[in-house]
Structure 1
């Protein structure tokens, strides 16, 4: 009887019922469950990490398209620069003694024909001299006619004995002298007319007038220099400077493409002359490339040219495969370990078919065809062979 009251007295101060004690146990149970779940997740994460790392490693190796270019017959081109000029540049000056310029008939850019009058010089004095000589011819001809008549009459009388043989000879000599004076007067007139004709400045051949340095009222003479420059038949040329090795690879007849500086037009031409000597200072020679007339081709200007000098086998790549930086042109190839390797190259002829590689590749390499700008040397890649060049 005394035990139960003591127990009740001991528990009474706590004031806790069975339901209250159960509620206080729940947070502890939940905490234990959370800790157990976290431990289980950590175990699973540690178990799955190697597999995930393997998957991520595979995902980081990018696929790239590669091609094996091989060898293709491509036209071998030589690049050169030079000055534009008339193929045959004809200077025109004063042929005769000159004088006062009366009129100029052409301007630069005018097409002229052979013998066409370019300018005329005053000839008033020369015209009077020619008229005087023409009159002298008539006088000499009249004297010759009289001498011939007297000779004819003397021949009729010599048989009758009225005129001696000696008189007949003298009259014959008189007639011959008169005829000679006629010829002298005719020759003097012809000379004067030829001199007068040289006062006209005429085109020596058909072509295009390039320059004019003469005006009406100007006095010109033998020391006046070049008054007109004419490009014969309007033909132009590029005087391309080539190194000694390149000069040895070109020949007369090789085709070329000429592009004047500042123009996008390309003009077809051909080599018509190769310099037989090399400048000992520059080690260069001149290949003269003939091109047809076009207003965009201006003598004295500068132009570039691509000269075709036969065909040779070379790797042919799409332009997307060729990269460039401050060190020059290069391509990326994939080696046997599927690693990216940078290879410097020299680009040859570029056409719609692609760009030929003059040096740096043999054609057996696996060349990255596209997206090379996103790769780095030594990077691992998954090569995908391209069967057909784009």
Structure 2
């Protein structure tokens, strides 16, 4: 009697589970062939849009160096300071000359005022006033010239600061503290902040490669789960070593390593194929299956799995080589 109760309970549970499975909503998808890009794998390197040097504007000795490789810099940020002892000597010399000229200009002004009073009273002829006015003008102009010369030296002091030419990251230092540099010598090289991919494609694919084509990067290449997509911006007309060079823009590309090599998938033509979301495929004992039919009446059909083929509208896209036909309806396991 007890065994019978267990049997009836098991049958009733199975019936309830079957009813629940039949009534449970199941996702379904109609199979249809689509035209996909026949992708080819090539290697690309992460490069900066432009690498610009931060140069010394005056000659001298590097006194301070405030950055190192990998540091982020902004436009106008001070990178290094260059000093020249001769500039300090010139500045002291000009200061002394300016003080002397100020004294001369002050004395010329006093002489002019005194002679002007004597001329007005008729004690001295007017020619003396003209001579005093000329001496005053000469002294004032000499003072202004020396002051301007001092401003030039002061500007050279300011130009001893080496400034970052643009926002970016320091790639390499060319000097150390104590190095002697000449005007125009590079101090550090700065990679601009915007990075791009530079592809080198075999020339047999050159005629299939054009501006505006889409490319794909596996997520694992950039440390992400989802694939990244980009667009080819420029195809260079020069073929080097049997390869065509092209530049591409990819959103979310790394902003640290320059020269990093990535595997990139580019279009090498078009072909029809069956691409379905990978969630419809189930693997049991090494064999891949999909469920065809209607919810509650689906059967398992073996298929041959191809490679992953993600796209913006199907991030988990998977190519099926055999086992499906147009019009089949997939039911999610």
Number of residues paired by the alignment?
A: 271
**1:145 and 2:106 are equivalent in the alignment:** yes
For residue 78 of structure 1, report the CA deviation from its aligned partner: 7.8
Q: 2:274 aligns with which of 313, 316, 326?
A: 316
Q: 1:250 aligns with which of 179, 193, 212?
A: 212
Unpaired segments ≥5 residues, structure 1:
1-66, 322-344, 362-366, 370-382
For residue 216 of structure 1, report the CA deviation from its aligned partner: 2.0
Please say if residues 59 and 84 of structure 2, whose CA atoms lie closer than 8 Å, have aligned partners that are also in contact. no
Q: 2:54 aligns with which of 85, 92, 116?
A: 92
User: Considering only CA atoms, is the larger Rg found in Structure 1 or Structure 2?
Assistant: 1
For residue 346 of structure 1, report the CA deviation from its aligned partner: 11
Q: Deviations over 1:84-114 (max 9, x none)?
A: 2222312123221223x33322111222233
Q: Which residue of 2 aligns with 1:368?
A: 323
Q: Which residue of 1 aligns with 2:92?
A: 131
TM-score by length of 2: 0.64
Please say if residues 97 and 146 of structure 2, whose CA atoms lie closer than 8 Å, have aligned partners that are also in contact. yes
Please say if residues 227 and 315 of structure 2, whose CA atoms lie closer than 8 Å, have aligned partners that are also in contact. no
In structure 2, relative to structure 1, the CA distance for the partners of 1:166 and 1:288 (3 Å cut) is farther
Q: Which residue of 1 aligns with 2:261?
A: 302
In structure 2, relative to structure 1, the CA distance for the partners of 1:283 and 1:240 (3 Å cut) is closer
Please say if residues 97 and 221 of structure 1, whose CA atoms lie closer than 8 Å, have aligned partners that are also in contact. yes
Q: Which residue of 2 aligns with 1:16?
A: none
For residue 185 of structure 1, report the CA deviation from its aligned partner: 0.9
Higher strand share: 2
In structure 2, relative to structure 1, the CA distance for the partners of 1:280 and 1:200 (3 Å cut) is closer
Describe how 1:270-309 pairs up with structure 2 within 5 A.
271=231, 273-275=233-235, 277-279=237-239, 282=242, 284-289=244-249, 294=254, 297-306=256-265
TM-score by length of 1: 0.56
In structure 2, relative to structure 1, the CA distance for the partners of 1:117 and 1:73 (3 Å cut) is same
Q: Deviations over 1:285-317 (max 9, x none)?
A: 42242655736x511222234579xxx995433
Instruction: State the alpha-carbon separation in 1 of the partners of residues 80 and 244 from structure 2.
Output: 41
Q: 1:386 aligns with which of 324, 328, 331?
A: 328
Q: Deviations over 1:31-87 (max 9, x none)?
A: xxxxxxxxxxxxxxxxxxxxxxxxxxxxxxxxxxxx995344768978653222222
Instruction: State the alpha-carbon separation in 1 of the partners of residues 217 and 123 from structure 2.
Output: 91
Q: 1:206 aligns with which of 167, 170, 183?
A: 167
Describe how 1:97-112 pairs up with structure 2 within 5 A.
97-99=59-61, 101-112=62-73
Q: Which residue of 2 aligns with 1:230?
A: 190
For residue 386 of structure 1, report the CA deviation from its aligned partner: 3.1
Please say if residues 43 and 262 of structure 2, whose CA atoms lie closer than 8 Å, have aligned partners that are also in contact. yes
For residue 140 of structure 1, report the CA deviation from its aligned partner: 1.7
Please say if residues 260 and 304 of structure 1, whose CA atoms lie closer than 8 Å, have aligned partners that are also in contact. no
Instruction: State the alpha-carbon separation in 1 of the partners of residues 326 and 262 from structure 2.
Output: 43
